[in-house]
Structure 1
Amino acid sequence: MRRPRPVTAVLAAVLASLLAAVLPPGPAAAGDGPPLPARMARTGGGTQLITAEAPGARSTTGTVSWWDRRGGRWVRVGSTAARFGANGLVEGGRRRQGTSTTPTGLYRLPYAFGIDAAPPGTDVRYRRVTRDSWWCQDNRSRAYNRWVEGLPRDCRASEAEHLVTYGRRYAHALVIGFNYARPVRGRGAGIFLHVAGRGPTAGCVAVPARAMRRILAWADPARRPHIAIGTVSGPTALTRY
């Protein structure tokens, strides 16, 4: 014959079952499931990847992480807080110039640049900003979405960035290959991964200065690094790219 359970034990069991029915399950342990790059549709074909992820399309903050593919697996090397456009993020193919939105998608990283010298260990091609360095954003110019030394006659200064005037924000930067290979006029120009200022960006992705230096020292052009920009879920989710 079974002995009756103590009253305290019975009450504890009832309380536990009630709590389980009312409270949501706890968060999954960190590291559960495949890493983010392994869940993406494409990563660019290389063995290095930067992901820039925002909680939603209207977010102006999020996370930048950089990854190595080692032994067939993606391993996160570093992670940092990030800032996005003042008006959030939008699908790269639908972006319009002057909207202060960050374009989502998967992009190459053509080269790096900066007002300061390249950080030690930098292997990516690096251009040093001079007093004559501009980024042309004039839709009527033949130099649209290109670095120019000396402003061309067909590129208005009001439609260009005089790079040296951006101070610490352009101390170090990577060009994001959005609308770069075959520029579409009106889609946008001058999208970079650069050092963060005090607030959101005009469409770039920005990270703290120390993280920017680490990324430049980490990036290896022989491993074909790309950057993927997107949201946690929805039509602009990183896993779509």
Structure 2
Amino acid sequence: MSLRRLPRGALVATALVTGGLVLSGCSGFPGHTAVPARAVEDNSGHGGPPGAAAAPATPAAHPQLRRAAELQEVKEIPALGPKTLAKIPQSARQAVVVTGDAADSSSSTVLLYVRDPAKGWEPVSDPWPAHNALHGWTEEHYQGDLHSPAGVFGLTDAGGRKADPGTRLPYDHGPSFVAAGTGFDGESLAGAFDYVVAINYNHKPGTTPLDWTRPMGANRGGGVWFHVDHGGPTHGCVSLPEDRMKELLRWLDPKKDPVVAMGDASMLGE
């Protein structure tokens, strides 16, 4: 099963993972607070015998209790701890959660969530298999360390060698999105950049995924994308099967300030 009744959106995916890349990442292109329910009122004076026990109040009969029940049901994303949740902007209504199998694993799982103002975060996809960097995850990423950066990052820009599949994100379509050579398991990298979404780790929002600006400095890496999976670990990106990449691109909606929360379970659970 794929997405359940998703709003029209866009999907984007990316990352640069070429065997000959010098730079980290994948691109390497230079240049609820619950409302307490009121105590049940005494029946005396309302038709019942004095001192008789009150009938149990139900949310349907008491709007205040009904509202309390609704507030108590506000949901957070189960995999995320308070530190990670605090990094998600209140304006964000879409979240991609990438959970690594382990801190040093290159395999991970992706789930999509939407935030309802009343109910909180709800999953809208089945788990999607994904790859991340060869050496797993780090909360302090540096160029060439072969780790994917853990944290919460915006998703604002997309592109690819293939034409825009219908995303709402700005989409840079061109021949420069080409991956060559082989990956860490000897697999071909051809087609890895057919569809990409820039992950805003050390990326300037509002620019093509190919933009070389590094706000944190070149030594902190960059070019970290969602991109098409090539069957093995990446240099720092997160890769998804091509059909999932297209789904992601169509689902993402810049008006909903989408973010990605990524890392292994222990990091995300902080």
TM over 0.5: yes
Q: Note the C-alpha offset of 1:232.
A: 1.0
Residues in 1 aligned to 2:77 and 2:255: alpha-carbon distance in whole angstroms: 23
Following TM superposition, by how much is the alpha carbon of 1:51 offset from its aligned partner in structure 2, in angstroms? 0.7
Query: In 2, are the aligned partners of 1:114 and 1:172 still within 8 Å (CA)?
Result: yes
Greater relative contact order (Cα 8 A, min sep 6): structure 1 or 2?
Answer: 2
1:239 CA displacement: 3.2
Q: Which runs of 5+ in 2 are unaligned?
A: 1-74, 181-189, 205-214
Aligned-partner SS, 1:230: strand
**How far apart, CA to CA, are the structure 1 residues paired with 2:79 and 2:103?**
20
Question: For this pair of structures, how many residues does the alignment match?
Answer: 171
Distance in 1 (CA, whole Å) between partners of 2:87 and 2:219 is 27
The one-letter code matched in structure 2 to 1:90 is T
Aligned to 2:269: 239
CA RMSD of aligned residues (A): 1.8
How high is the TM-score relative to the length of structure 2? 0.59
Partner of 1:125: 170
The answer to whether the Cα contact below 8 Å between 2:131 and 2:229 also exists between their aligned partners in 1 is: yes
Q: Does residue 225 of structure 1 match 2:258?
A: yes
The CA distance in 1 between the partners of 2:178 and 2:76, in whole Å, is: 42
User: Counterpart of 1:90?
Assistant: 138
The normalised TM-score by structure 1 is: 0.66
CA–CA distance in structure 2, aligned partners of residues 88 and 38 of structure 1 = 18
**Aligned equivalent of 1:179:** 202
CA distance in 2, matches of 1:179, 1:86: 20
When residues 34 and 224 of structure 1 are mapped into structure 2, their CA distance, relative to the original with a 3 A threshold, is: closer
Give the secondary structure class of the aligned counterpart of 1:169. Answer: coil
Aligned ranges 1:46-57 → 2 under 5 Å? 46-57=92-103
Q: Structure 1 stretch 178-187 or stretch 218-227: which is displaced more? A: 178-187
Distance in 2, matches of 1:37 and 1:54, equals: 11
Q: How does 1:203-218 map to 2 (within 5 A)?
A: 203-218=236-251
Structure with bigger helix share is 1
Confirm or deny that 1:74 pairs with 2:131.
Answer: no
**Matched-pair identity in %:** 29
**CA distance in structure 2 between the partners assigned to 1:174 and 1:214 by the alignment:** 12
Post-superposition offset of 1:201: 0.4
Runs of at least 4 residues of structure 1 off by over 6 A? none
Question: Alpha-carbon deviation of 1:189?
Answer: 1.7
Going by fraction, where is strand more abundant, 1 or 2? 1
- C-alpha contact (below 8 Å) 2:178/2:192 kept by paired residues: no
Q: Which runs of no fewer than 5 residues in structure 1 stay unpaired?
A: 1-32, 134-162
In 2, Cα distance between equivalents of 1:118 and 1:36? 33
The one-letter code sitting in structure 1 at the alignment partner of 2:237 is C
